[in-house]
Amino acid sequence: MSPGGAEMVVTKGADGELSDGDIVLQTKGSEDAFAGATPAAAAQELALGKRFNSADGAVSVLVTKAGKCDLRYNGEPMELQEPRKLPSSD
């Protein structure tokens, strides 16, 4: 969970730290750790169902609840995974 309410599931994991800017993300049920915290200034609205990958490809997450978050892995911004192009069915 992030301070902005976004929730995600890690679909591919590695050792490292997921964060919302400088604030480390917490597991669901640990929301008290965000007491008084606000989303990072660079936070964007994460849409339900979007997937994000770390720059090195070590970590992937799936957004399960929309919310604001400046999603980072080990301090580096995570990238939106673009949908795969399917061949046309001419």
Stated pTM of the model: 0.81
Q: Is the pLDDT of residue 49 over 90?
A: yes
pLDDT of residue 33: 65
pLDDT tens-digit series, residues 51-71 = 999 999 999 999 999 999 999
Residue given tokens 């200034």 in the structure block: 41
pLDDT bracket for residue 22 (50, 70, 90) = confident
What are the domain boundaries of the chain? 7-28+42-80
User: Could you tell me which residues come within 8 angstroms of residue 49 by beta carbon, excluding any fewer than 6 positions away?
Assistant: 62, 63
Please state, for a pLDDT cut of 70, what percent of the chain lies above it: 88
Residue given tokens 């976004």 in the structure block: 6
Region for residue 29 given its phi and psi (left: phi exceeds 0; alpha: psi -120 to 50; beta: otherwise): left
pLDDT tens-digit series, residues 27-47 = 887 766 666 667 667 788 999
